[in-house]
Amino acid sequence: MAAAPRLFPAVTVALLFCFPAAVRSRRDVLELGDADFDYLATGHETMLVKFYAPWCGHCKKLSPEFEKAATRLKGTVQLAKVDCTAHSETCARFGVSGYPTLKIFRNGRDSAPYDGPRTADGIYHYMKKQTGPDSAHLKTDEDLQTFISHYDASIIGLFSGEDSPHLAEFLRAAGLLREQFRFAHTVDLKLGEKYGVSSESVLLFRPPRLDNKFEDSVVVFRDYLTIGSLRRFIRDNIYGLCPHMTAENRDRLRVRDLLTAYYDLDYHHNVRGSNYWRNRVLRVASKYSGRGLTFSVANKKDFLSELEDDFGLGTSDGGELPFVTIRTKLGHKYTMREEFTRDGRSLERFLDEFFAGHLKRFVKSEPIPERNTAAVKVVVAESFDEVVNDPNKDVLIQFFSPSCPHCKKLEPVYRDLADTLSSDPNIVIAKMNAADNDVPLGYDIQGYPTIYFAPVGRKDEPIRYEGGRELKDFLKFLKSKASHSVVSTGSRDEL
């Protein structure tokens, strides 16, 4: 008698072929495709999806950070990915036009674009804030104390009842801002009495780790509650006199002139030690408040590459003492060269010099070439004004990187252009290594090579070159844009 067929393996095989792209990677990232996206996405309350292409360099850079974040978020937020070269229908449906594109989905519906940081730690913290309700409902004082005893700041709404119109507006604001801030609310006004509030209002609690004697740890919002007014209140008060700058909040802090003291700061393991130097910065900050400068502290280890690239600093600079910089909203940079003293006097002298306009800006620059006789003039940051901003010369400048293959391909054409125009005394063909020199304001360098034209009389309005990269293309452009008749050593047909 023949043995009965075994059904279990067949069922398993059938399930595997129902959703061929639904394979959970060993790294906790769910792979989705055209056949299974809707089916699987609806099974997750919150999901972050990365739409990518295997050949995309930025996607490859993001991949290990995305994997690490997926492991840390396992059980709370599902991370998934869609290969748009294999599943173009899904990517087109969600309007994906560049890679990588990250979107937040709630129960299978496209909820919002992800515009947070792209490090594992940044993705983790950003997406943790996407879980649960937009605003936690607090019922007791114990609930409130637990909520505000947190690493980050807390915004608490106090309302008279569930039907309060102000509560509805507060919840709408929480839904829009939850990725940046933590919200909670209560309908028990008694919870606000210990903070001097007995009517409907909003309380902003700064992080307990940043508590200090120079400012209040709780700020009360008393304006008419709208999404806009609440957003402004949070923006103006969330950071206080001296916030802790991180990779996640630095862009929001740098919309103003910003002083930062960098040192071995670690609020996770050494709150007291971290606040030792911050309190000294705070003492000085309280004297200079209202003068348009924001103060902050940061962990030097988190910004080593930035300090090296932007300020030429190494790991030993500052030693155990804070190293202080100022970066203005216009991009100007200054460094405090005097050693940070515990009484804050050195910091005060640095600030007095800054506000008096006596400080010399820090500029990252290669040395000015001793000989610069080639047809293509070499420009460095220190010589940029002298060469490119020469008021009597039209200048075409190429920003390049030594490692850029496209720049190397352009080099012979660019040299031919300079040779062709070498007899014209009113035009300069120049190049600058943008990887090792600060690029001035007004020049937006997103990739290499990037070419700009700085004409006579309009040095503050350089024109980005978007044309072809043959000799005749450059000559045609210069003929149309130059402030004078271009003189060429080539044939007239080239012009």
Residues 112 and 81 in one domain: yes
pLDDT for 164-211, tens place per residue? 999 999 999 998 888 789 999 999 999 999 999 989 999 999 999 999
pLDDT computed for residue 315 by the predictor: 58
> Is residue 5 in some structural domain?
no
Q: Are 52 and 99 in contact (CB under 8 A)?
A: yes
- Within 293-442, strands assigned E span 293-299, 323-327, 333-335, 377-379, 394-400, 427-433
Tell me which of 84, 91, 242, 407 is the catalytic residue: 407
Q: Residue 12 — very low, low, confident or very high, per pLDDT cuts 50/70/90? A: very low
Report the percent of the chain where pLDDT is more than 70: 92
Question: Residue 444 has what pLDDT?
Answer: 87
pLDDT of residue 1: 44
Average pLDDT (220-238) is: 92
Is 407 marked active-site? yes
The answer to whether residue 318 scores a pLDDT higher than 80 is: no
Alpha carbon of 47 to those of 81, 106, 212: distances in Å?
A: 10, 6, 38
Torsion angle, alpha carbons of 60, 62, 63, 65, to 10:
150
* pLDDT above 90 (res 313): no
Asked whether 78 and 30 are in contact (CB, 8 A), the reply is yes
C-alpha radius of gyration, the chain, whole number = 29
Looking at the 3D structure of the chain, how many domains does it have? Answer: 4
Catalytic residue among 18, 56, 84, 91: 56
Please check whether residue 381 lies inside any domain of the structure: yes
Note the pLDDT of residue 187. 96
What gap in Å lies between CA 142 and CA 184, rounded to an integer?
13
In a domain, 371, yes or no: no
Residue 368 inside a domain? The answer is no
Helices 345-355 and 271-288: crossing angle in degrees, nearest 10, is 40
Which candidate, 211, 306, 215, 216, places its Cα nearest to that of 260?
306
Are 61 and 144 in the same domain? no
For 270-423, list the strands marked E by DSSP.
Answer: 293-299, 323-327, 333-335, 377-379, 394-400
Question: What is the band of 456 on the pLDDT scale with cuts at 50, 70, 90?
Answer: very high
d(CA 118, CA 104): 14
Give the mean pLDDT of 92-99.
91
**56 carries an active-site annotation:** yes
Q: How far apart are CA 432 and CA 399, in angstroms?
A: 5
The verdict on 385 and 488 lying in the same domain is: yes
Instruction: Give yes or no for a contact between 398 and 410, defined as CB atoms under 8 angstroms apart.
Output: yes
Percent of the chain exceeding pLDDT 90 equals 66
Task: Tell me, yes or no, whether 142 and 124 share the same domain.
Answer: no
Query: Residue 90: what pLDDT?
Result: 94
91 part of the active site:
no
Predicted confidence at residue 416, as pLDDT, reads: 95
Lowest mean pLDDT among 220-224, 305-309, 310-314, 485-489: 310-314
Looking at the structure, tell me whether residues 115 and 175 fall in a common domain: no
Give backbone dihedrals phi and psi of 95, rounded to 5 degrees, phi first: 70, 30
Same domain, 21 and 87: yes
Reported confidence tier of residue 4, pLDDT bands at 50, 70, 90: very low
Are 461 and 441 within 8 A, CB to CB?
A: no
Q: Of 209, 237, 265, which closes a domain?
A: 237
Strands (E), 71-181: 78-83, 101-106, 109-113, 136-137, 154-158
Which of 356, 245, 359 lies closest to 297 in space, CA to CA? 245
> 165-177 and 227-237 are packed helices; what angle lies between their axes, rounded to 10 degrees?
60
Question: Same domain, yes or no, for 386 and 489?
Answer: yes
Type of residue numbered 134? D
Query: Is 155 a member of any domain?
Result: yes
Residue 360 domain flag: no
What secondary structure letter does DSSP report for 441? T
Residue 145 sits in a domain whose CATH number is 3.40.30.10
Give the C-alpha separation, 176 to 227, whole Å. Answer: 9
Main-chain phi, psi angles of 115, to 5 degrees: -120, 25
Q: What pLDDT score was predicted for residue 331?
A: 83
- Residue 71 maps to a domain: yes
Last residue of a domain, one of 215, 237, 259: 237
Q: Are residues 451 and 400 in the same domain?
A: yes
Please check the confidence at residue 14 and state whether its pLDDT lies above 90.
no
Is pLDDT at 314 greater than 90 in this prediction?
A: no
Helix axes 57-73, 120-128, angle to 10 degrees: 50
The strand pair at 463-464 and 450-454 is best described as antiparallel
Q: Catalytic annotation on 84?
A: no
220 and 122, same domain (yes or no):
no
- Are residue 393 and residue 485 in the same domain, yes or no? yes
Q: Residue 163 belongs to what domain range? A: 136-237
> If you average pLDDT over residues 71-80, what whole number do you get?
92
Give domain status of residue 28, yes or no.
Answer: yes
Residues 226 and 283 reside in one and the same domain: no
The reported pLDDT for the residue numbered 21 is: 39
Q: 324, 355, 386: which is the final residue of a domain?
A: 355
Place of tokens 């173009």: 88
Of 59, 84, 91, 242, the active-site residue reads 59
The answer to whether 221 touches 204, Cβ cutoff 8 Å, is: yes
For the ranges 8-12, 35-39, 255-259, which has the lowest average pLDDT? Answer: 8-12
pLDDT digits (tens, 9 = 90+) for 396-455: 999 999 998 999 999 999 999 999 999 999 999 999 999 889 888 889 888 899 999 999
At residue 494, the pLDDT reads 47
Residues 186 and 267 in one domain: no
Q: How does residue 495 score in pLDDT terms, banded at 50, 70 and 90?
A: very low
> How far is Cα 187 from Cα 161, in angstroms, rounded to an integer?
5
Residue 219 has pLDDT above 70, yes or no: yes
